[in-house]
Amino acid sequence: MLTPPVSVCEDHQVVPDSIHDFFLASGSAAGALIGLLFVAISVASERVAREKTGAQLYRVRASVALTAFTNALTVSLFALIPGHKIGPAVTVVAVGGLTFVAAAVLWLIRLRQPLWDTLPHVLLLVGLAVVFVFQLVEGVDVITQPGDSGAVNTIAVLVVVCFLIGVARAWALIGGPSIGFVQEVIAFVQSHEHSTDDPADEEPR
């Protein structure tokens, strides 16, 4: 009897065994970090309730951290499911992430906050959008070329980037100290503007 032909794509594993353990570890880490993020949100919400001026921007930090961790968790879990699941999963979460970024930017514009207050958040959202664009490209690549293990490796690197973004936003969410280049430049410009406008600097008559 003739056996039915088996396609090359069915024999080829989309997620190589060499990177399987990475997605297993990242899925566990993402689940734990999401749980800790919920605790951080509940703790920080009490502090933000007393600081109404920062309450709106606090929501952006919380949403960005949750989106980054959820992205990493979803990609990692679908990568562990046998079959060609990671390509469609990455494509869907990337589109969802880009939709979130667009909504968050429009929300920041609608708040009409001072530029110096919203600029760091806008830059962060732009960086997150770049990650999601790369995810979308690599997800489509995996769907069209299931044998391309390089695309899966790139997706794994983007998962790491999502972790870094999520951790950074979670740290800012709880009010952890940070010294960033953008924040320091903004603070320098603001201090320079205040010093030039200070009437105490004018020469006495």
pLDDT at residue 1 is higher than 50: no
Q: Which residues contact 41 (CB under 8 A, 6 or more apart)?
A: 62, 173
pLDDT-derived band at 51 (thresholds 50, 70, 90) equals: low
Q: What is the pLDDT of residues 79-100, one digit of tens each?
A: 888 877 888 999 999 999 999 9
State residue 3's pLDDT score: 45
70-75 CB contacts, 8 Å cutoff, 24+ apart: 70/30, 70/34, 71/97, 71/132, 71/135, 71/159, 71/162, 72/26, 72/29, 72/30, 72/159, 72/162, 72/163, 72/166, 73/27, 73/30, 73/31, 73/34, 75/23, 75/135, 75/155, 75/159
Q: What is the pLDDT of residues 180-197, one digit of tens each?
A: 555 566 566 666 565 665
Instruction: Using the predicted structure, report yes or no on whether residue 143 has a pLDDT greater than 60.
Output: yes
- Distances from the Cα of 170 to the Cαs of 2, 34, 101, 145, in angstroms? 59, 10, 17, 36
pLDDT of residue 122: 80
